[in-house]
Copies of this chain bind each other. A is one copy, B any other.
């Protein structure tokens, strides 16, 4: 998914590079703005990747207002089909993951309308770290940020640029003090009739959006009542609404029937609000009852 397939750079390597090479190596982190890397080059050596990123962000935040606005204005419009060709490879990969290149005509119109209103008010394109979002949460954020005043919104745009470039930097550089950019969703099924983990329970994870419902993952619990791998991991979790379903009737042999069953498919709906958070959503279950909660 990441376009960089070459061996990652190391922080110590970056610290030791000649200035120009350092700037070239980080060119893709802040698109079309080599002055950011140039400013960061002067602060070397950096003890952690986190410190390197903080220095680059500081360079942006301390830039002269004109340069800052030009920099913000140089970002691509979100969900704009007509401009898709002009995206850098990174922007294209990020927006593609969200399905912004597969918008329906109606959604395309809605995004276009919001883009136009936003640009009309603020004079630059709407910027959001799409890898941390579902389509629904982008739309909600779009509408919320449209209500900002200019200064608040410029700050919000810079915060999103920080999140976008942090992900790019982490994909590019290896070293001590990596920023946390990934979240995790896991589950655990306890059979409280037998007092032990429930093995063999089929579970499915859906994103449930305003319009759509997309199957993200299927799994079967192992002997410890867990999926072998986390349901989502290795990336930011996308802010949005989700549903886990547990095939409990099948597990207990009490499927929906004209017999005496009660629970069959147990759905658990929840929101993810922290893309870098750990979400553990266990199920304590009998054929007649269950408890679920945000665990840790």
- Does A197 interact with chain B (Cβ within 8 Å)? yes
Once the chains bind, are B239 and A195 in contact (CB under 8 Å)? no
Q: Which residue from chain B places its CB closest to the CB of A226 in the assembled complex? A: B296
- Cα distance A293–B191 in the bound complex, in angstroms: 10
Q: Which of B137, B192, B269 contacts A258 (CB 8 A)?
A: B137
Once the chains bind, are A190 and B295 in contact (CB under 8 Å)? yes
Once the chains bind, are B267 and A262 in contact (CB under 8 Å)? no
Once the chains bind, are A192 and B192 in contact (CB under 8 Å)? yes
- Kindly list chain B residues whose C-beta atoms are within 8 Å of the C-beta of A256: 241, 271
CB distance from A96 to the nearest CB of B (A): 22
Interface size (A, Cβ < 8 Å)? 45
Once the chains bind, are B262 and A273 in contact (CB under 8 Å)? yes
- Does A225 interact with chain B (Cβ within 8 Å)? yes
- Does A58 interact with chain B (Cβ within 8 Å)? no
- Cα distance A262–B288 in the bound complex, in angstroms: 20
Q: Which of B196, B259, B269 contacts A266 (CB 8 A)?
A: B269
Once the chains bind, are A262 and B292 in contact (CB under 8 Å)? no
Q: Which of B261, B266, B267, B294 contacts A288 (CB 8 A)?
A: B294
Q: Which residue from chain B places its CB closest to the CB of A245 in the assembled complex? A: B269
Using an 8 Å CB-CB cutoff, how does the interface string of A115-146 with B read, 1 for contact, 0 for none? Answer: 00000000000000000000001001100100
Once the chains bind, are B292 and A290 in contact (CB under 8 Å)? yes
- Does A263 interact with chain B (Cβ within 8 Å)? yes
- Cα distance A241–B256 in the bound complex, in angstroms: 7
- Does A109 interact with chain B (Cβ within 8 Å)? no
Once the chains bind, are A264 and B257 in contact (CB under 8 Å)? no
A–B complex contacts, Cβ < 8 Å, 30 sampled: A137-B258, A140-B258, A144-B258, A192-B192, A192-B288, A192-B289, A192-B293, A193-B288, A194-B288, A195-B262, A195-B287, A195-B288, A195-B294, A224-B296, A239-B258, A241-B256, A241-B264, A249-B271, A256-B271, A257-B271, A262-B273, A263-B271, A264-B270, A267-B267, A284-B291, A288-B293, A288-B294, A289-B291, A290-B292, A290-B293
